[in-house]
Amino acid sequence: MPRHTDREYAAHLQQIREMLLEMAGRVEKMIADSVRALVEQDVDLAKRTIACDKLVNQSELDTDELCTVVLAKWQPMGRDLRLVTFALKTVTDLERMGDLAVNICERAIDLSSYPQLAPGEDIPKMSAIAQAMVRDAIDAFIHRDSDSARRIIGQDDELDILYTKVFRDVLDAMAGDKTRVARGIHVQSVAKWLERLGDHATNIAEQVIYMVEGTDIRHTSQAEEPKAAVG
């Protein structure tokens, strides 16, 4: 099939890329602001961050609609088809990441009535890793860098280790002081949501590899990766 030269088609593909970048940037900021609202007990920031979720939701709908138009009107193939497939899957992960940031904000509001939270370094560290994974996954998308995407997948182990540490630390604290149980449950929930953010960033990295190489590595180790598709 001849390569598409239609300007409208090319413009639509570029618009899909730009919409993904804007959505990812907003989600990354929501993650950062949600944890800052938690640590600083900033209820106003938590509420502003929750309000941003409407924009993320609308971005998902708009991107889905544009991808559908491209599929129906031009029936892309090869790399262009993988780009559209990447967009359709990635906006779902980004939207769910926005929901997780909202969950953290809701816990920040709940915890604002308790004494100042002292989460140590682990919760902010988990947040920083999750933000970096999102940012690096999108950078890998921009540069079509599947090697970087593979490195991002490896970073998810760091979040898993930190989550386990937070869970145990909070459990020990609750066992030693029953008055900290309610607050501890909230903190454990936040840690779990940060760990899930890493899972969604990993999904995006896996989709980058598919987009670039045509290789679907989901549910496989790197040693088991299938050969890349042609096209």
pLDDT tens column, 88-125: 999 999 999 999 999 999 999 998 887 765 556 799 99
CATH code linked to domain 7-224: 1.20.58.220
Band (pLDDT 50/70/90 cuts) for residue 5 is low
pLDDT tens per residue, range 117-155: 555 679 999 999 999 999 999 999 999 999 999 999 989
Of 107, 92, 102, 108, the residue nearest 37 (C-alpha):
108
Distance separating alpha carbons of residues 41 and 187, to the nearest angstrom? 13
Name the band, by pLDDT with cuts 50, 70 and 90, for residue 177.
confident
DSSP codes, 132-155: HHHHHHHHHHHHT-HHHHHHHHHH
Residue ranges covered by each domain of the chain: 7-224
What are the φ and ψ backbone dihedral angles of 115, each rounded to 5 degrees? -55, 155
pLDDT number for residue 113: 83
Helical H runs in 41-113? 43-74, 78-111
Of 161, 141, 111, 115, the C-alpha closest to 203 is 141
pLDDT tens digits for range 191-220: 999 999 999 999 999 999 999 998 889 877
Q: What is the value of pTM for the model shown? A: 0.89
Q: Residues with Cβ < 8 Å from 124, sequence gap 6 or more?
A: 35, 39
d(CA 82, CA 99): 26
Is the CB of residue 83 less than 8 Å from the CB of residue 91? no
Rounded to an integer, the average pLDDT of 26-53 is: 95
pLDDT at site 8: 93
Question: Rounded CA gap, 94 and 183, in Å?
Answer: 28
Instruction: Report pLDDT for 230.
Output: 39
